[in-house]
Amino acid sequence: MNETEDISKNGEDTHLVSEKSARDFNIRDYLRTSLFPHFLCPGCGHGIALRALLWAIYELDIDKNNLVIVSGIGCSGRTGAYIDANTFHTTHGRPLAFATGLALARPDLKVIVITGDGDCLAIGGNHLIHASRRNLDITCMMLNNEVYGMTGGQASPTTSETRYTTTSPSGSIEPVFDACRLAEAAGAGFVGRDVTLQMPRLKNLLRDAIQYRGFSFVEVISDCTEIFGRKNDLGESPEMILSQKSAMRPSSYGNVVDEPFRPNTLKTGILARNDRPEYGATYRAHAETIQAKGK
Amino acid sequence: MNKQEKPNSITNVLIVGVGGQGVIMVSKVLARLCQRHGFDVKQSEVHGMAKRGGVVFSHVRFGEKIWSPTVSEGNADVLLALEWAEALRWLHYLKPKTGTFIADTQHIVPPFACLKRHRGAEQRYAQETPEEIVSQVAKGYALDATGIATELGNFRVSNTVLLGTLSTALAFDEADWRDTLAELVPPKTIDTNLEAFQKGRDWVEEVKKTPKKEKNTKKPNKIAPYQQQVKIQNDIQQDLIPVITAAWCKGCDICVKMCPERCLKLNTKEVVELVEPERCTGCRICEWLCPDFAIDVVKVPTPLNEEASKSKPASLPETV
Amino acid sequence: MASKYQLVNLQGNHACALGAVAAGCRFFAGYPITPSSEIAERMALELPRIGGVFIQMEDEIASMGAVLGASMGGLKSMTATSGPGFSLKQEHLGYGAGAEIPCVIANVMRGGPSTGMPTRPSQGDIMQSRWGTHGDHATIVLAPASVKEVFDETRRAFALSEKFRVPVIVLYDEVIGHLVETIELPKPEECEQVERKWADSDKKTFKPYAETDDLVPPMARPGDGYRVHTTGLTHAEDGFPTQDPETVVRVTQRILGKLEKHADEIASYEEVDCKDADTVIVAIGISARAANQAIRQARKKGGKVGLFRPITLWPFPEKPFKQAVQKAKTVIVPEMNAGQLALEIERLCQSEQIVERLNRIDGEALEPGEILQKIGEAQ
């Protein structure tokens, strides 16, 4: 028996992955292979999250030509460039603002935002709140690795208390954001969270999120192995990704958790889902009424 | 060495390498040491290469009074390179007639040079051999510091090995070097570092003893063509197997540790290899958790399923 | 036959909105700020009627981001702001300049710095409109001086923006913004619409930032099958980031050079009685209107006074300006700030020419009398 056994089997649900999908999905069809190997550090969880996203896109049979990936700044932002689609690498914290304009201007496109914890919750926090409030048809995948990796390992709004970073040299003392609760409270129609260790499960979550008509927010618990992991003695890449297992619990587990590695108890799975009207459709219907009156 | 002995001279040391190697640590040790001996020291550097593998360099200048923080071309008394290509890139900074050249022969192939890394091809990495370079400079030491460090059990102390070599080129007391080093490295690693430091010194002693002709180290290992060793026993009814894109693998070890059957291993180049293909069950965990997209679990091209095998490998890069 | 025009009483800010609609603008993202809010208000009314999108964003930065996003999606897009909001938009203005995304920003100038005097006019953003965002960049700034001109210049802003793939700023002061004038408004269908060059070459070999004869590469629209990468990082011809020194120089020089190459086409100015003038006044916006009155009065008294009014403020119409001041001994620069346009004029004038500054920073518009007095002093 091995710790990893249940990755392909989610408890009772043994049909997490269809064998056909796993066989037919060729990730190279969705990658700009000429740019590889990618720039991420060895063991960086962002690559795994990217695979989950691309697999979900494959399963939903989304035309790459109509797929737009909008990303921000940081390690998360740079991952967008590796996807063979229309990729917009925007400014720090603002991918949701760009995506809002794009999704309203071109409802025919599928807009997916890739952002990071610093990008989305610190400098771009305002945009997350309002994108959630509007419920425009955008999928936002936030890669949470608890740290600003690209700039060399500074504390982010999700850096767990007591963790060491270059800007919390004696351990972070700031409380952390629970991004999912934030998005849910602000009105996001679909909110979910999963870990990179459970890649197929994450893929299913992302698939549901992309299918949702409205603002869907998915927090991916990723690992920064080279900077955050090393600074905090969290072990090498395999140890770090395995520790996600003890730290996270599917939401069906309720509040039953053992000692988590983050001080707050983060649940995984679909955490919120409602049928609020999608903003783009609402706007267009509203505009049509105005046009009809004018005639 | 102290101020009285060398009143007006300025010593320029240039330390170069790539992100993560410990360039800054070496220059810190040197700068602290110089400062203790009453010199005016200037240490200026480019670092912050969070994108690992980026160029890192540090200029250390010391003497009675230092004005300019950087060493100009052709003015470095010592060029210390932690990586071979970096050594070459900065070579013109060395004083042509008197400069000392110290370099690790280790190759760290930057990602952009990997792009065309076909089987064993390394056109975009420097071709010059240590022999060629050492024969061109006034005083040259090219050693496999990473190899020495790996023997000591921690490849990360390669910078300290080179620091040991550097210590023979500057006239500070060995004991001072050791004290300063012990002060600056993490407490847990003091012993290893001191040992590595000694190895670096020993290496120079060794070279001095041997006749000049054989001063040079052997050629650095060229990156050997990476051969995927897939040995499939045809009698086993098994049709899925991981195919590894060696050029994309960064050796994070996740697949090795997560494989339920333990059939993967990192080779000496820190690239994953399938060592026990007959145990592979095709569970895809290695493919799914590879952050580098370096593993594809595909149907094996065996007589059992030739047709099916055509789907995926067709679009794999030729590295496989 | 119905007239091509209709006569209307229109406010400057409304003229800006209508000009945008006439130019084919179909996306507006904004944030309320005095004294430019009327533009957003009018857009909120107009755009849904014609199938366009109006959205009030959560902040100034987001509205500029949304404008860029919509423009990348293929819609002609604009936003409007003033002083503090303009400062916040600078980050994305730089993105628009670097990634070459067409868009129009109306900046109605109010007193500054900081919150300053929100309801009082100023011309304090002359330099910020040129150098507001960090790094070397190309940008076009148009400075209309009447309601009709706001309408026309907003249309021209879209035309230039689309043609040269560059953010264009329509810059005018609060007085022009809130001025109501009777103008002849052309029917929207009479207005020419300029569309950017869309990529139509081979999809596999297409390079989004390849050098073309006019230095303006065609743009790839998502959905058309090009699948390109757009980034604010310095990028090579293929759109992917680069730090290769040669490439960086090459691509940056193209972006800076594209406006230089078309300088004559971009330049626009008004010249009044400059031919024989020994004193030339250089001014924009409401200050230019006061100057116009002043030179007429001066001429009546026999003074040889002319007016040069750059309508394209940046890139500054250097050649026509040098032509206009050829005979001038004195150049007077009246402006509602502590001296910004004067810096450019001092740079362009001959050493023997005297550049006189006339500044007003009290939140009041310059009056013809003040300028006339300055002319008298100069002569």
Q: Is the pLDDT of residue B314 over 80?
A: no
Mutate to test the interface with B, among A16, A23, A206 (most CBs of B within 10 A): A23
In this prediction, residue C189 carries a pLDDT of 81
In this prediction, residue B262 carries a pLDDT of 87
How distant is the Cα of B134 from the closest Cα of chain A, in angstroms? 33
Query: Average pLDDT in the C163-179 region?
Result: 96
In this prediction, residue A161 carries a pLDDT of 82
Q: Is B68 helix (H, G, I), strand (E, B) or coil?
A: coil
Contacts of A152 in chain B (CB under 8 A): 48, 50
A197 touches chain B (CB under 8 A): yes
A234 burial via Cβ count (<10 Å: 0-12, 13-18, 19+): middle
Give the integer Cα–Cα distance in Å for A60 and A71: 21
Contacts of C72 in chain A (CB under 8 A): 88, 98, 102
CATH architecture of C270-378: 3-Layer(aba) Sandwich (3.40)
> What residues 178-237 of chain A have any CB closer than 8 A to a CB of chain C?
none
How distant is the Cα of A39 from the closest Cα of chain C, in angstroms? 12
Q: Are C220 and C199 in contact (CB under 8 A)?
A: yes
**pLDDT per position as a tens digit, B176-197:** 999 999 999 999 899 999 999 9
Q: Is the pLDDT of residue A8 over 50?
A: no
How distant is the Cα of C302 from the closest Cα of chain A, in angstroms? 57
> Does the distance separating the beta carbons of A237 and B311 come in below 8 Å?
no
In this prediction, residue A17 carries a pLDDT of 79
Asked, colleague to colleague, whether C5-190 and C270-378 share their fold, the answer is yes
Q: Are B306 and B299 in contact (CB under 8 A)?
A: no
Q: Is the pLDDT of residue B317 over 80?
A: no
Q: Is the pLDDT of residue C76 over 50?
A: yes
pLDDT, chain C, mean: 95
- Percentage of chain B modeled with pLDDT above 70: 75
Q: Are C378 and C356 in contact (CB under 8 A)?
A: yes
Mutate to test the interface with B, among A30, A36, A196, A242 (most CBs of B within 10 A): A36
Q: Are C120 and C363 in contact (CB under 8 A)?
A: yes
In this prediction, residue B85 carries a pLDDT of 86
In this prediction, residue A69 carries a pLDDT of 97
**Among the listed ranges A213-217, A238-242, C15-19, C314-318, which one has the minimum average pLDDT value?**
A238-242
Give the integer Cα–Cα distance in Å for C96 and C78: 12
Contacts of C59 in chain A (CB under 8 A): 126
In this prediction, residue C40 carries a pLDDT of 97
Mutate to test the interface with C, among A88, A132, A136, A284 (most CBs of C within 10 A): A88
Query: CATH 3.30.70.20: which residues of chain B?
Result: 240-315
Query: Average pLDDT in the C253-274 region?
Result: 95
Give the integer Cα–Cα distance in Å for C161 and C140: 8
Residue of B nearest to A150 (CA): B50
Query: Average pLDDT in the B11-18 region?
Result: 91
| Pick from A81, A105, A294: CB nearest C49 | A294
In this prediction, residue B278 carries a pLDDT of 81
> Does the distance separating the beta carbons of B252 and A152 come in below 8 Å?
no
Query: Average pLDDT in the A123-128 region?
Result: 96
Give the integer Cα–Cα distance in Å for A118 and A135: 22
A147 touches chain B (CB under 8 A): no
Q: Is the pLDDT of residue A259 over 50?
A: no
On whether the pTM is more than 0.95, the answer is no
> Does the distance separating the beta carbons of A68 and C222 come in below 8 Å?
yes
A166 touches chain B (CB under 8 A): no
Q: Is the pLDDT of residue B218 over 50?
A: no
Give the integer Cα–Cα distance in Å for A175 and C106: 41
Mutate to test the interface with B, among A1, A7, A16 (most CBs of B within 10 A): A7
In this prediction, residue B53 carries a pLDDT of 58
The correct CATH number of A20-294 out of 3.40.630.30, 1.10.240.10, 3.40.50.970, 3.40.50.1100 is 3.40.50.970
Give the integer Cα–Cα distance in Å for A167 and A160: 13
Give the integer Cα–Cα distance in Å for C343 and B232: 78
List chain C domain ranges: 5-190, 270-378
CATH number corresponding to B240-315: 3.30.70.20
Contacts of A286 in chain C (CB under 8 A): 48
Phi, psi (rounded to 5 degrees) for C378: -65, -35
Q: Integer distance in angstroms from the first to the last C-alpha of chain A? A: 71
B251 burial via Cβ count (<10 Å: 0-12, 13-18, 19+): middle
Give the integer Cα–Cα distance in Å for C203 and C363: 54
Task: Tally A–C CB contacts below 8 A.
Answer: 137
- Joined together, the tokens standing for residue C334 give 């009246």
- Joined together, the tokens standing for residue A175 give 């409380």
Q: Is A6 helix (H, G, I), strand (E, B) or coil?
A: helix
In this prediction, residue B115 carries a pLDDT of 44
In this prediction, residue C341 carries a pLDDT of 97
What's the CATH superfamily of B10-215? Pyruvate-ferredoxin oxidoreductase, PFOR, domain III (3.40.920.10)
Q: Are A262 and A242 in contact (CB under 8 A)?
A: no
| A84 HSE (CA, 13 A, CB side) | 17
**pLDDT per position as a tens digit, A221-250:** 999 999 999 999 988 999 999 888 766 544
Query: Average pLDDT in the A122-138 region?
Result: 96
Q: Is the pLDDT of residue C332 over 50?
A: yes
Contacts of A4 in chain B (CB under 8 A): 258, 260, 285
In this prediction, residue A294 carries a pLDDT of 79
Q: Is the pLDDT of residue B304 over 90?
A: no
> Does the distance separating the beta carbons of A109 and C68 come in below 8 Å?
no
How distant is the Cα of A294 from the closest Cα of chain C, in angstroms? 8
| Pick from B257, B288, B316: CB nearest A51 | B288
Query: Average pLDDT in the C249-256 region?
Result: 95
**Among the listed ranges B16-25, B119-128, B293-302, which one has the minimum average pLDDT value?**
B119-128
In this prediction, residue C187 carries a pLDDT of 85
> Does the distance separating the beta carbons of A37 and B294 come in below 8 Å?
yes
In this prediction, residue B135 carries a pLDDT of 84
Q: Is the pLDDT of residue C184 over 70?
A: yes
A14 touches chain B (CB under 8 A): no
> Does the distance separating the beta carbons of A129 and C70 come in below 8 Å?
no
Residue of B nearest to A26 (CA): B312
Handedness of CA A54, A58, A59, A60 (dihedral sign): positive
**CATH fold of C5-190, please?**
Rossmann fold (3.40.50)
In this prediction, residue B265 carries a pLDDT of 93
Q: Is the pLDDT of residue C185 over 80?
A: yes
In this prediction, residue B290 carries a pLDDT of 95
Q: Is the pLDDT of residue A15 over 60?
A: no
> Does the distance separating the beta carbons of C224 and A84 come in below 8 Å?
no
Q: Are C42 and C177 in contact (CB under 8 A)?
A: no
In this prediction, residue B315 carries a pLDDT of 40
A85 touches chain C (CB under 8 A): yes
Give the integer Cα–Cα distance in Å for B1 and B158: 26
In DSSP terms, which residues pair with A295 in a beta bridge? none
**Among the listed ranges A50-59, A78-87, B256-265, B311-320, which one has the minimum average pLDDT value?**
B311-320
A33 touches chain C (CB under 8 A): no
> Does the distance separating the beta carbons of A43 and B257 come in below 8 Å?
no
pLDDT grade for B306, boundaries at 50, 70 and 90: very low
- Percentage of chain C modeled with pLDDT above 70: 99
Q: Pick from A192, A188, A160: which is nearest to A96 by CA?
A: A188
pLDDT grade for B47, boundaries at 50, 70 and 90: low
The label of the residue with tokens 């069950």 reads B281
The residue type at B238? Q
Q: Are A108 and C248 in contact (CB under 8 A)?
A: no
In this prediction, residue B73 carries a pLDDT of 87
Contacts of A25 in chain B (CB under 8 A): none
| Pick from B250, B258, B284: CB nearest A37 | B250
Contacts of C243 in chain A (CB under 8 A): none
pLDDT grade for C2, boundaries at 50, 70 and 90: low
ipTM reported for the complex surpasses 0.85: yes
Q: Is A181 helix (H, G, I), strand (E, B) or coil?
A: helix
> Does the distance separating the beta carbons of A47 and B293 come in below 8 Å?
yes
Phi, psi (rounded to 5 degrees) for A3: -60, -25
Give the integer Cα–Cα distance in Å for B163 and B181: 9
Give the integer Cα–Cα distance in Å for C35 and C52: 24
Query: Average pLDDT in the A124-146 region?
Result: 96
Peptide bond into A37 cis (omega under 30): yes
List chain A domain ranges: 20-294
Q: Are C237 and C210 in contact (CB under 8 A)?
A: yes
A57 touches chain C (CB under 8 A): no
Contacts of C64 in chain A (CB under 8 A): 97
Residue of C nearest to A79 (CA): C229
| Pick from B51, B250, B254: CB nearest A241 | B254
> Does the distance separating the beta carbons of C72 and A100 come in below 8 Å?
no
In this prediction, residue A248 carries a pLDDT of 57
Contacts of B299 in chain A (CB under 8 A): 23
In this prediction, residue A40 carries a pLDDT of 93
pLDDT, chain A, mean: 87
> What residues 143-182 of chain A have any CB closer than 8 A to a CB of chain C?
none
Query: CATH 3.40.920.10: which residues of chain B?
Result: 10-215
Q: Is the pLDDT of residue B96 over 80?
A: yes
In this prediction, residue A257 carries a pLDDT of 37
